[in-house]
Each structure stands twice: as C-alpha cells, then as structure tokens.
Structure 1
C-alpha cells in the first residue's frame, strides 16, 4: 500500500500548522481516504525532515478538528472530511466547546420560532389548493408575485408584478440568471473580492470571471471602463448592499457611475441584495438606476430566518422568457408553500418586523466587535452579518485560520472569496451572527484579539 506524504518543499513556518493544513487538504480532496492510516509520528518526521514534536503538534491539531482519530497501539486513522471542521460554510451545532464564526447567517431568538410555528399552524387557513396540487405557473403564483412587488417596494425597488419571478432564494435566482444571460466562453466581471458561490458557478458554466480593483466604496468605475474596452464582458455582478465579504455599503454616486459604464458598454447587471431592508441607510438599488439591464435578486434567508427559502427576482421584460425557462430547468417553479409563507409574512408585517429585529441585533454585535477589536483596522457595518479583518504582524489568511482552529474558533479565510488570479489579501471574514450567545461571541473575539497581538511564531503559546 502506498503511503501519501506531503511535499516538504511546500511546508512553511510555523511547520506544525503548515503540515496540519497539508494533511487536511489531502483529506478534503480524497488523497487521504477515510480509514487510511497515517504514518507514525517518527516515520512522518523522518520522511519530511521534521522533529517528532512538530509532527505530534500537527496530528493533535487534526485530532481537535476531528479529521483523524488516534487509537492506542494501532496509530492514527483518517475519520474523513465530513467529520472535521475545515469547510468554512458548514453549519455546526453550537456547543460550549467551540466558536464557529465562519458561516454568515442571521441571529435569531425565541421570537423567530414563535412566528414560524404560528405561521405553520395558520397555513391551512385559506390556502389555495394550487399551492400543493400544481407545478404551475412557472413564474410563481400571482398572489405570491404581488407580495413580491410589495416586498421589493420596501427594499427600494418599484417593479410591476409582471416583471417579478418567485425563487427559492438568491442562489436559485443567481443560477437562473447566469445560465439565462451568458453562454460558455462569455465573461462575467465582479469585484476582486466577491461572492463565494459566484466563483465555482462561473467555473462550472465555462464562464470567465474577472475580478476588478475596489476602494472603500466598492468597484472602481475606471477599472470597469478599462476592463470593458479590453475584454468585452457580458455581465456585471454587484453586491452593493453589505452582501459582499468585505461588508461594504456602496454609496449612491458609485452605483450610478457603474450603471453608466454598464449602459455605455451594453453590460447586463446582476444585483445581489440578499439582506433586503435590514440596513436603514441603504441607497437606491442599482436595479432602480438601470432597470432596462438589471436582474435584481433578494430573499428572506438573511433578513428573517435561514429556513425560509424564498425570494424574488425582478428583471426587464425582454429577459423574462429566458429567466423563466431556467427556473423551469432547475426546479420547474419555486416551492409554492415557501412562497405562501413568505407572502403572508410580507402582508401581515412579520417579514419587516423580523428584518428590523435583525437590524437591532446586528448593531449590538457590531458594538461588541468595535470594543473588542479596537485598535485594529477592520471593515464592517452595523447592519452587516459579518466583518472583514485584514491581518497584520506577518499573519497569512490560511495561517491565521489554522491557528484559530487550534483555539476552537472557526473563521473564513479569504481564499473562497477571491476571483481568479487575484492574489491573497491576507484577511479573514468573521461572522457576527453564527454564535448566538453574546457572551460566547465576545469570548471568541477576545481569543482572536489575543492572536492579533502576537506574530505567528509567538501565537503558538496561545494554543499549546
């Protein structure tokens, strides 16, 4: 049986963290299969030219991540990537043993469970049988689209009912938009730090993704202008209202400038507005500035509760046949019962109530972050679900995330958010809502603050 070893030339200080990362990647991509036995500490050390102590620390780190399991007298065995904590977006049950700040999700309270249980109890009352007896109309039931028009108005966008499609959320709408508006070989342009799902989506669809330079206000219009002259992209993807990894709110002037460039170069625009009305200071959506070329996406997942998988897509009339066709391909139609729940919450005010609750709760988390991380330069907004933390003192994104895992704190490294050919940004994304208890959230941030005070070589004392 061939035993897999990392390439020692790829290991960088701190060596135990680098070795742990290399083994974790091998487990994740299948080079080390579930059940495979790792070499003994001494054998691994000999093969890689490391000390036994360094290998022991790396194995200990993998054991804490539940990627391997040690058995006395038998050795260390791979338990599998699913048992570990490396994927940055998997939801884990909240326990007293760790802090998951990696997944960007909203806060919740007993209020949310009460509202949802009440909605489920009331669902049979006056329910149109078409919600469970039919898979048409593909664009969504008319009553649900009318509720969508009302919700979009709350989000700052006036759109006629006929231009609104019901979706199963923003990801569903994004899949429909990308496949309807672009063909393999076309180019999509976005900010260099963008939505983590856009990157694999473009790769799987054969689309070229260009990442453009930004400043504090978002994508630079001059960079978009120059890119359009050189590359003739088909689509412009924007996250102007806190849904980007950097938690930025694009001002109205920048939105207008980008819309003007898109108009000059005949670019279609996809606007992801997942948070909807959570932020009180959100400017006019790009879709209102360039309605003839913008597909606008929003949902209830981020602003009310994650289980309400429903949303809306608004688009110009000439794009609707292609978009509706893609809805049919992916799901025939959005799930009608979810659309019914969302519609009732829009009509009775529950959706807006929960969005405003989210606004207040996130502001409280933002205040905690501002206190604990005072003195470090980070990017955030009182209504954002996460913050973006550029790293100093020699930290890399992957190294910081690896050390944090040893303290049982999970953060999202920058890699999943970087468009192709964008160099590492040496930053991490920290969720404000994934740890529900505010005291435990503060504890997690304090652990990270302790790391920030140390260079990587000095942080080992925090974990061992």
Structure 2
C-alpha cells in the first residue's frame, strides 16, 4: 500500500477533476511509480474528507487516460505508460467488464496520439488563416484536392484534382452521390448483405432497394445482368474490398465484368472503399474500369484514426455540379481544418505509416481469430476489420446476440445489414479492432465459442 496522499488544501473545484489532475501530475513526476498501488477509494476519501463517489470519479478519469488500472483483489495501481503497445486513454462509456466487439473501428496506440499532437502543434504556427476564415470553395480547397490525388493513387485510383470533392467521410459522400444520381422511387442495387448505412440512406431518401445474389466474392454478374434488363436500376452500391460486414474481396476479373455490365445498361456505380491502402495485393477499384459512370468514396476513419472525419469523392464530370450542390445542402463543405490535418498526414507519410501499422495489427488479430475459431464456419481477411461468424443450427442471429450480451460480450446481429427480401443467414459480425487489449479480445472469442458449443437455453423473462 502506498503512503502517498495528496494534500486536501491543493484541491479545487470541481474536486474530482482536481484530484485526478494531482494524481496524474504525481505519476508524471515519479512520485507514484509504475506498479505502485493507490489508496483504496474509501481510505482516500476518509483521509481527504471527501465522498467515496468523488474519489471513484477521479479514479475513473485516470483509468480512461490509462494512467491507472484496477483488478479485483489487487486494487488500483499505476500503469507503466512507456510500455510498448499501451493505450493512451479509454474510449468506452460502457462498464469495464463489457467486451464490445460490435463497434467498427480501427486499433490505435500511443503512435496515433503522438502523431496527432505533433501535427496540431505544427498547425498552430503554420496554418494559413484562409482555412478557418473562408467558407469556400464548397468542393474543397485546391491544395487538399491535389493531395487527395496522391492518396487516391495509393488506393489504386488514378485521377485529377478537378474530379475530387472533399467530404466529411464516406457517409457524407454517400448521401451526396446518391441524391445526385437518384430521385425518389428510383432503384438502387447492392449485395444482399450490405452496409447498414446504405439501407438507412435508401429509406430516408425514398428509393427502392433490390439486393443482388452474391457468393464469397461478391455480386454475381449474371444475376446483375438479368436484374438490369428487367428493372432498369439507376445505381449500384458496392463494397468490393473487405466488404462490411461479410469481408469478401472481389477479384479483378469480376470487377471488370461488373464494370462492363454497368456500361451496357448506363448504370452508375457508387463504390465505397473505406479501408484504402490497408489491404495489400488487392485489385484496382471497380471505378478505374468505368470512371465515366463511377463515384469512388474513401476516408481516413478506418485506416488511421476514427475521429479523422475526412474523405474523398471522385466523380465523373457530368456529376460534379450536382454533387457539389448536394455537398452544400448536406454540410456546406467538408471541414477545412480536418481536411488540412489529413492532407498533412498524406504529404509527410503519416497516413500511410498508420495504415501499414493498422494492417499489421489487424493481421495479428486475424491470426488469433483463426486459432480461437478453428472448427467453426466463418469468413474474414487478414486486412479486414471484421469477421462474419456463421451460427450452427439451433441459433438465430438476434438470439445469439442477446445470449452473448448476458456474458458481457457485444456483437452485431445480421439484421441491420440485410437488404429488403434478403433471407436471414444466421450470422453475426465480430469486430477485430474495438477491443484494444489482446488478452480481452481472446477472452471474448472464447466466451463466444463456448456459447456456441453449449445447448441453447431460454433467457430469463422479467415482469415490469
């Protein structure tokens, strides 16, 4: 037990924030060393004349900053912040014991925080005032669009700055593209199992949505050809690389076939490629095979850090005026300061370094999944953020999610990803990046496999 106790006179209002700050300063100064135990909540509260709740709130702040941790029977203790791979702070608002594999986000560590701090400090002294004083051009500043050409080449797409629109991520670009191409009542095609944001966007805008049969590589060209002949759809939405949620990687031959079908039927393609260059040895984007009909969307949120809400939309000339007009309606313009940060990361190599780091870390998680899910039916990719776990007979997706939650494990059911008339497949999506600690990630997988192997039991019902 440590004898270190802060002075009551050093605390100021709000007390819990002040107490957390004083403990953090003591850790930084070395007065509290790695592995050293902190006083129990009640003892420190008694020593300082505070409530136990106030001390608990201060300790919670320090846990989110990953300065301390706690275990039953061991108490709270100081973490070695210099330890390789240690996370700089906590994101969860859920209880500590929740193993949340339902959120789609990349992994991160101190490398990401240091990169962000370094760039923000540089921007403080070097930033052109026009980036925060102007509200135009709506398509994005020319320098940002030129840098976008460089990043897009890493994604396999060759284009020019005049064809690039800056967006606040793929969701912003998707709404812009769909509303420029389609009118209420028009038909949008997609995989039977597709991104949940497409399904909600189609519903909001009043479009008709038809799912196209697919295999492990994506949409089947012969089925697509038939539907185009029968229904005259206006747009085809695709996630050909590491598709969310079922992680297929469409081969180049099929990409060329789909581009050819689009040309024959005048079908616009909206290609969502959120992972950018994370996947190695992937085929070129479909948009490169039919650029006159394609809108290509990518972002930094899946390959660098989740909060970097900047992205690029590449569109053919005939769509640029309409898409720019919709950019104005949906947000006036992409946030210039965020686009500047993303551009600096592209130019100085930070973005690519973080994407390569992400590739390595996700690859490690994929190998763990292979070990823990051996003998089960699932689909994944060494560069993908998710795996798609097929459930055995006797389970359905929603029931499995509810039973897993009783074990404090959260996974995504399949229902938000099913296009209209798509038959349930009894699968769940498991995120590889939302649990940052490797041991907890492995623990969550073991709890899920243990659940599958046990006979299904009814959950308790409670009267209200």
- Alignment match, 1:328: 328
After superposition, residues 270-309 of structure 1 pair within 5 angstroms as: 270-309=270-309
In structure 2, runs of 5+ residues without a counterpart are: 1-90
After superposition, residues 21-100 of structure 1 pair within 5 angstroms as: 92-93=92-93, 95-100=95-100
1:126, CA displacement in angstroms?
2.6
Query: What do residues 358-386 of structure 1 show as CA deviations (whole Å, max 9, x unaligned)?
Result: 00000000000000000011000000001
On the 8 A contact 1:268/1:293 being kept in 2, the answer is yes
1:423, CA displacement in angstroms?
1.7
After superposition, residues 354-433 of structure 1 pair within 5 angstroms as: 354-433=354-433
- Alignment match, 2:30: none
1:424, CA displacement in angstroms?
1.2
On the 8 A contact 2:192/2:418 being kept in 1, the answer is yes
Local SS of the residue matching 2:435: coil
* C-alpha distance in 1 between matches for 2:252 and 2:407: 41
- Alignment match, 2:244: 244
Query: What do residues 327-348 of structure 1 show as CA deviations (whole Å, max 9, x unaligned)?
Result: 0111111000000000000000
- Alignment match, 1:337: 337
1:402, CA displacement in angstroms?
0.5
- Alignment match, 1:47: none
On the 8 A contact 2:298/2:312 being kept in 1, the answer is yes
On the 8 A contact 2:244/2:386 being kept in 1, the answer is no
On the 8 A contact 1:163/1:315 being kept in 2, the answer is yes
- Alignment match, 2:265: 265
After the TM superposition, which segments of 4 or more aligned residues of structure 1 sit over 6 Å from their partners? none
How many residues were matched structurally?
A: 370
1:102, CA displacement in angstroms?
0.4
Query: What do residues 111-131 of structure 1 show as CA deviations (whole Å, max 9, x unaligned)?
Result: 111101111111123322111
Local SS of the residue matching 1:323: helix
1:459, CA displacement in angstroms?
9.6
On the 8 A contact 1:187/1:208 being kept in 2, the answer is yes
1:96, CA displacement in angstroms?
3.4
1:184, CA displacement in angstroms?
0.1
On the 8 A contact 2:188/2:209 being kept in 1, the answer is yes
Local SS of the residue matching 2:422: coil
- Alignment match, 1:128: 128
Local SS of the residue matching 1:123: helix
Structure 2 length normalisation: TM-score? 0.78
After superposition, residues 188-203 of structure 1 pair within 5 angstroms as: 188-203=188-203
- Alignment match, 2:216: 216
1:163, CA displacement in angstroms?
0.3
- Alignment match, 2:444: 444
* C-alpha distance in 2 between matches for 1:340 and 1:450: 47
On the 8 A contact 1:228/1:265 being kept in 2, the answer is yes
Query: What do residues 7-28 of structure 1 show as CA deviations (whole Å, max 9, x unaligned)?
Result: xxxxxxxxxxxxxxxxxxxxxx
Local SS of the residue matching 1:292: helix
